[in-house]
Amino acid sequence: PAFLLENVKNLERHDKGNTFRVIMDTLQNELKYKVYHKIIDAKGFVPQHRERIFIVGFDGDTGFTWDDLRLPDPKAMTLKDILQPENEIDDKYILSDHLWHYLQDYAAKHKAAGHGFGFGLTGKNDIARTLSARYYKDGSEILVDRGPGKNPRRLTPRECSRLMGFDRNGKEFKIPVSDTRAYKQFGNAVAVPVIEEIARIMKPHIMELKEKENMAYSKQYYAHRHVQAIGNTYPQTHQRR
């Protein structure tokens, strides 16, 4: 009786808004769902600036409202909350001199040209940029600052799991794939705590629709049984002439 969709924030503006209009028209007018959408930033749920558009729909009117959403303080979590101890970090995650110089030169070139491209050097008390599926290439959008005179490093796959909210309540999410695959999958994933919160406010409305559905089914079932009962007794009382 309901659905939840997630996509990048810019979906609303893609193809001058035509893509989003087609999606909403299909959901509302063709499929007849009651549809609600909202852009939510994951920061506070996790230490990451990650704006995504969420679209929820119900096959009936239940009075759903985004006002029931409980959003945490955007500064509730910072990078230090998901980092592993430095003595656990393999040297392979530290940027080489060559790559670090390249990223600095690349950022300086674009800054001089008036562009905003560059790396994201993130301190322990900061909120990270958005983790993307391309993180495996150079990790430039989220580089962990290791202090003066030291090359920064990438997040480890375990830290990415924490950054996306997969590691919860002391339980580690199993990562059975290579680093490259893990970076791609976490970068393409949803922030789990955000989904949990949306699911929380959706649940009572889903239950209401299920209850209505069950009541309608019960009425239909008993009406059918009643007709059957009448049909079964009619030949016994009807007399041929």
Tens of pLDDT along 118-166? 899 999 999 999 999 999 999 999 999 999 999 999 999 999 999 999 9
So what's the pLDDT on residue 218? 58
* Nearest CA-CA partner of 215 in 60, 17, 67, 87: 60
CA angle 160, 132, 191 (to 5 degrees): 55
So what's the pLDDT on residue 169? 85
pLDDT in tens, the chain (241 residues): 899 999 999 999 999 999 999 999 999 999 999 999 999 999 999 999 999 999 999 999 999 999 999 999 999 999 999 999 999 999 999 999 999 999 999 999 878 877 767 899 999 999 999 999 999 999 999 999 999 999 999 999 999 999 999 998 889 999 999 999 999 999 999 999 999 999 999 999 999 999 988 776 655 655 555 555 566 655 555 554 4
Instruction: Give whole-number Cα distances, 158 to 84, 99, 110, 184, in Å.
Output: 8, 22, 32, 13
Instruction: Give whole-number Cα distances, 16 to 32, 74, 80, 210, in Å.
Output: 25, 30, 39, 38
So what's the pLDDT on residue 221? 53
Euclidean distance between CA atoms 96 and 152, whole angstroms? 9
Instruction: Give whole-number Cα distances, 64 to 35, 135, 198, 199, in Å.
Output: 9, 36, 11, 12
So what's the pLDDT on residue 234? 57
CA 70 to chain centre: 16
> Residue 106 in contact with residue 117, Cβ under 8 Å?
yes
Instruction: Give whole-number Cα distances, 181 to 134, 135, 136, in Å.
Output: 10, 10, 8
CA angle 187, 191, 195 (to 5 degrees): 140
The rounded mean pLDDT for the chain is 91
So what's the pLDDT on residue 216? 64
So what's the pLDDT on residue 80? 97
Phi first, then psi: give them for residue 4, nearest 5 degrees.
-135, 125
Tens of pLDDT along 141-150? 999 999 999 9
* Nearest CA-CA partner of 82 in 144, 9, 151, 3: 144
Sheet holding 51-58, edge to edge: 2-8, 51-58, 34-41
